[in-house]
């Protein structure tokens, strides 16, 4: 299932086809827990070229509206509306916006779709409303919406620590990924709050991160997710079998699931494996990105 990446269009008071890319966690270690219950993690966040797309049209009357229905997300709970509200009140803007959100990223998939939509909304409205907030100020606001939002605002791939707010930019290699949606929705809090979750993985140094192929760089949330949803384990096993061979990366879950992925050095190999994925699962190929496409557009 290939998706064409439409070009971002800018018109007076409007931005159309603004991309909100997905991320993959190339590994995700839980290294501790804060007193407020949030988990301290270490992870490499990788941007990929599969995106949601958003259209923004400025309103003079200050109202914030989402124009389309999005299954499973009521308008007032949508992170894009919450992001717009937060920026409007922080920047004391009198302007409003109409937003159309075209979803391609599954919810409860561990791809950061909701957080990425929120980040793209903050970037677009900071521009359209001329709020002139710095990157740092936007990231501080973004963290109030979700732990992954600051990463998307940072604009590139990163080694992420803390609960998601400590971001060190890194360069990752060009790769293709086969991503399987096992068809289950995993609410993030249910995984993080599980008794069996291990929370004491030894902290790593990012300079030790060779690439994603090393089996010691794992996703600590995966075991819990597989216990709760056997489909995730089935998808990991299936995908890992396609890449059997010494030294090659096995498949892994991203974030708190449910999506699982496997990396390939070339597009053809990824496409061949993707074509074999059992029909009960949705699967697609994505390419690594080095830069957030919306951030890159704003910088030019
Ligand atoms: O911030 P976000 O909305 O993505 O997190 C959803 C939930 O996941 C939080 O309410 C929390 O229960 C859990 N979480 C956590 N530690 C993190 C990120 C999320 O415990 N670093």
Tell how far the Cα of 188 is from the centroid of ligand 1, in angstroms. 7
Percent pLDDT > 70 in the chain is 95
What is the residue with the minimal CA distance to atom 13 of ligand 1?
189
Instruction: Report the pLDDT value the prediction gives residue 247, as an integer from 0 to 100.
Output: 47
74-84 in b/e form (b: 16+ CB < 10 A) is: ebeebbbbbbb
Quote the mean pLDDT of the chain. 93
Confidence of residue 4 (pLDDT cuts 50, 70, 90): confident
What's the gap in Å between 95 CA and the centre of ligand 1?
Answer: 31
Lining ligand 1 with CB less than 6 A are: 38-39, 41, 146-148, 163-164, 188-189, 192
Interval between CA 65 and ligand 1 midpoint (Å): 26
- pLDDT of 248 reads 56
Catalytic residue status for 148: yes
| Burial bucket for residue 296 (CB in 10 Å: 0-12, 13-18, 19+) | middle
Indicate whether this model's pTM tops 0.85: yes
> What is each CA distance from 15 to 99, 109, 255, 296, in whole angstroms?
10, 27, 30, 15
CA 150 – CA 142 distance, rounded (Å):
6
- pLDDT tens-digit map of 36-73: 999 999 999 999 999 999 999 999 999 999 999 999 89
Mean pLDDT of 164-182: 95
Q: CA 174 to CA 183: how far, in whole Å?
A: 28
Answer yes or no: 36 catalytic.
no
pLDDT at 174 over 60: yes
Q: How far apart are CA 219 and CA 253, in angstroms?
A: 7
Count Cα atoms within 13 angstroms, Cβ side, for 298: 24
Q: Are 297 and 120 in contact (CB under 8 A)?
A: no
């Amino acid at each position: 299932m290939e998706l064409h990446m439409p070009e971002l269009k800018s018109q007076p008071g409007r931005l159309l086809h603004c991309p909100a890319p997905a991320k993959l966690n190339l590994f995700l270690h839980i290294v501790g827990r804060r007193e407020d219950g949030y988990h301290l993690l270490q992870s490499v966040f990788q941007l990929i070229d599969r995106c949601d797309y958003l259209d923004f049209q400025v309103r003079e009357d200050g109202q914030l509206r989402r124009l389309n229905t999005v299954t499973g997300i009521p308008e007032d709970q949508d992170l894009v509306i919450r992001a717009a509200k937060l920026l409007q009140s922080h920047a004391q803007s009198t302007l409003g916006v109409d937003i159309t959100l075209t979803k391609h990223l599954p919810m409860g998939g561990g791809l950061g779709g909701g957080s990425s939509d929120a980040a793209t909304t903050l970037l677009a409205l900071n521009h359209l409303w001329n709020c002139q907030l710095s990157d740092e100020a936007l990231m501080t606001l973004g963290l109030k919406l979700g732990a992954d939002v600051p990463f998307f605002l940072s604009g590139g791939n990163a080694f992420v620590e803390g609960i998601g707010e400590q971001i060190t930019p890194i360069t990752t290699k060009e790769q293709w990924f086969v991503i399987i949606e096992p068809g289950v929705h995993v609410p993030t809090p249910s995984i993080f709050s599980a008794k069996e979750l291990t929370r004491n993985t030894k902290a790593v140094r990012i300079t030790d991160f060779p690439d994603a192929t090393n089996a010691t760089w794992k996703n600590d949330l995966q075991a819990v997710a597989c216990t709760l949803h056997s489909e995730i384990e089935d998808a990991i096993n299936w995908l890992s079998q396609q890449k059997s061979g010494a030294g090659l990366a096995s498949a892994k879950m991203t974030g708190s699931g449910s999506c699982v992925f496997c990396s390939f050095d070339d597009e053809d190999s990824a496409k061949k494996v993707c074509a074999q994925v059992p029909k009960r699962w949705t699967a697609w190929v994505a390419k690594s990105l080095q830069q957030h496409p919306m951030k890159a557009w704003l910088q030019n």
